[in-house]
């Protein structure tokens, strides 16, 4: 947990790995709910996660977050958070809906979706790719 220059308090999820024998059992969903409960109880404004787009378990990591209301995130100079690391996909869960940004997510083949309103469609779309679907995301922008 930390506090940004803007005085927003956050929780950053640095690293989570679910062992292969318990993947697809809903463990990440349970952990997301606990993360939300813990961060909310600490008065955080948001939770941020980031995922290596080359991660072979990208989908099991991001699907529970997208279903839990996380949105794709891209830092902006407006909020002083221009730190996007090439090769990473950032997601955020805001505790106040007024803080949510409207985000467009672009894919290599030209498809684009809005987050959070199209999160379920984004999940379905990502499932179409066999190998490292995170690599298919080319741009995340606020509009």
Alpha-carbon distance 72 to 44, whole Å? 18
Closest CA to 115 of 130, 95, 93: 93
Residue 123, SS3 per DSSP: helix
pLDDT in tens, the chain (143 residues): 888 888 889 988 876 777 777 677 777 777 888 888 988 899 999 998 888 888 888 888 888 899 988 999 876 555 555 555 667 888 999 998 766 678 899 999 999 999 989 999 999 999 998 888 888 998 888 87
Alpha-carbon distance 100 to 130, whole Å? 30
Instruction: Record the pTM.
Output: 0.82
Provide the CA 113 distance to its chain's centre, in angstroms: 14
* Size of the chain, expressed as the number of residues it contains: 143
Neighbours of 41 (CB within 10 A): 8
User: What pLDDT does 105 receive?
Assistant: 92
Domains of the chain: 2-142 (3.40.630.30)
For the chain, give the longest Cα–Cα distance.
Answer: 43
Tokens of 90: 């950032």
CA torsion angle 127 132 138 140 (round to 10): 70
User: What pLDDT does 55 receive?
Assistant: 85
Contacts of 63 (CB under 8 A, 6+ apart): 28, 123, 126
């Amino acid at each position: 947990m930390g506090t940004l220059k803007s005085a927003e308090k956050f929780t950053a999820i640095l690293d989570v790995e679910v062992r292969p024998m318990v993947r697809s059992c809903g463990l990440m969903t349970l952990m997301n709910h606990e993360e939300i409960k813990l961060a909310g109880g600490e008065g955080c404004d948001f939770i941020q996660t980031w995922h290596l787009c080359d991660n072979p378990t990208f989908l099991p990591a991001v699907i529970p977050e997208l279903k839990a209301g996380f949105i794709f995130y891209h830092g902006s100079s407006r909020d002083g958070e221009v730190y996007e690391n090439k090769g990473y996909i950032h997601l955020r869960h805001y505790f106040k809906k007024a803080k949510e940004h409207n985000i467009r997510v672009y894919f290599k083949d030209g498809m684009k979706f809005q987050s959070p309103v199209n999160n379920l469609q984004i999940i379905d779309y990502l499932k179409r790719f066999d190998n490292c679907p995170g690599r298919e995301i080319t741009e995340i922008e606020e509009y």
